[in-house]
Amino acid sequence: MWNAGNRKGTDMRPLAALMILIGLPAGAGEMADTCMIRDQLDAATCDCIEQGLRAGLEPEDFATYLRVSGDYFDGLDAGLPRAEAWDNAVKAEAAAQGIGFATLLTRTNQIGRLHADVIKSCRS
C-alpha cells in the first residue's frame, strides 16, 4: 500500500487529487481510460483528453498509462482502495516491463500531472 514517507521523490499527491474523481466500469474502453472521470464528461471532451495525452506522450508511455489505468480500474472494481489499486497496477506493469516499481511510479505520476492539465484544458 502507498505510503508517501517510503518513496522519496514519488509524491503521489497530484495524482491522488486526480484519482478522487476517477472510476470507470471494467471494459469501458480506451477512450474511457484516458477520460478517467465517470459520468461527468461528454464524448467530445473525452476525445480531447485522449488527443491531448497522445500529443504529449511517446506512444509507449501512452500505452503504458492505458495498461496501468485499466489494471487500476480492475482493482477498484474488485474493491481495493484507490492507493492500493494504483500501486498494484504500477507493480504489475513494472514487472511486465522488467523495470523497478519506483521508476515506473515516478513516470506514471509525471503522466498523471500531464493528464490533470489536459483534463483541465479540455473542460474549459
Structure confidence by residue, pLDDT tens digits, 101-111? 999 999 999 99
Specify the pLDDT at position 83.
93
SS3 11: coil
CB atoms within 10 A of CB 96: 12
Does residue 42 register a pLDDT over 70? yes
Look at residue 65 and tell me if it is in a domain: yes
Any domain includes 5: no
Q: How many domains does the chain have?
A: 1
Handedness of CA 6, 106, 18, 27 (dihedral sign): negative
Lowest mean pLDDT among 14-28, 33-47, 78-92, 102-116: 14-28
3 found inside a domain: no
- Residue 16, exposed/middle/buried by CB under 10 A (0-12, 13-18, 19+)? middle
Residue 80 lies in a domain: yes
Residue 73 belongs to domain spanning? 12-123
* Stated pTM of the model: 0.70
Q: Quick check: is 97 in a domain? A: yes
